[in-house]
Amino acid sequence: MDEAIVNYLNKHANWPQLALAHNLLLAHGFSAAIKWNAPVYMLDGKNLVGLGGFKQHCAVWFFNGVLLNDPQNRLLNAQEGKTQTLRQWRFSAGDTLDEAYLAGLLAQVKHAHQQGTGTPQLAPKQLTITEPFCQALAGDAALQSAFDSLSPGKQRDYADYITEAKQEATKHKRLDKIIPMIKAGMGLNDKYKNC
């Protein structure tokens, strides 16, 4: 077993569900690697399942979990409104991992992968641009042109960044921060890409 994965499981030994899930994933033929500082399980190099240990819970997540039949409703979307296809099965202290249920989910993951079922095409989120961002775009043709040239995802990141601010003063501070970034053709989170 990969030493980095052993270290991860040892670091999160307080979550025995992770070690059980890891063993079950390997038994089902998944290969494992550390990605995003956590174990990720693949078939044919495609990321399909991951594990995560945190302070208050641990989780098994399914990259295309929206495709899975989950009759016991154990899978949840941890970031409603942000994550469209990823689903996780979360465990708190004292929760047990139902290995038979997990095995059934893994069989579905394998079957979908073998059938070539990819990420479902979901409707894109509606882009909502609120004041004062709308005013700034309307009053600066160069800003509007630069914003229009960004990908839909980068546009949404910027729009959400302004919308999520609760106070008007914060919205204006954020707007002052992002205008030069937009004009430079940067995405809001580009600086984190190579971290």
Q: Specify the CATH number for the domain of residue 80.
A: 3.90.1150.200
Residue 121 has pLDDT above 70, yes or no: no
* pLDDT at 122 exceeding the cut of 60: no
* CA distances (Å), origin 137, targets 54, 127, 144, 146, 186: 41, 14, 5, 10, 16
Q: Which among 10, 28, 17, 109 is positioned nearest to 67, based on CA atoms?
A: 109
DSSP secondary structure string for all residues of 102-146 = HHHHHHHHHHHHHTT-----PPPPPP---TTHHHHHHT-HHHHHH
Label residue 195 by pLDDT band (50, 70, 90): very low
Tell me if the pTM is above 0.85. no
| Mean pLDDT of the region 7-22 | 95
> What is the token pair recorded at 50?
């991951």
Q: Which residues of 139-177 are buried (b: 16+ CB within 10 A; e: fewer)?
A: eeeebeebbeebeeebbbbbbbbbeebeeeeebeebbee
- Residue 93 sits in the same domain as residue 158: no
Question: For residue 27, is it within any domain?
Answer: yes
Are the beta carbons of 36 and 1 closer than 8 angstroms?
A: no
SS3 151: coil
How many other β-carbons are positioned within 10 Å of the β-carbon of residue 43?
A: 16
Cβ–Cβ < 8 Å for 103, 81: no
Domain span at residue 145?
133-192
* Strand runs labelled E in the chain: 31-35, 38-43, 46-53, 58-62, 75-76, 87-91
In a domain, 22, yes or no: yes
User: Does pLDDT of 50 surpass 90?
Assistant: yes
Q: Are residues 93 and 144 in the same domain?
A: no
Question: What is the rounded distance in angstroms from the CA atom of residue 125 to the CA atom of residue 83?
Answer: 11
When pLDDT is cut at 50, 70 and 90, the band that residue 84 belongs to is confident
Is residue 109 one of the residues assigned to a domain?
yes
What is the torsion angle, in degrees rounded to the nearest 10, for the CA atoms of residue 61, residue 159, residue 187 and residue 167? Answer: -90
- Mean pLDDT of the 98-118 span: 90
- Based on the domain organization, do 155 and 94 belong to the same domain? no
Q: Are 150 and 97 in a shared domain?
A: no
**Domain tally, the chain:** 2
Residues 108 and 143 placed together within one structural domain of the fold: no
Q: Does one domain contain both 60 and 140?
A: no
Structure tokens at 178: 């992002």
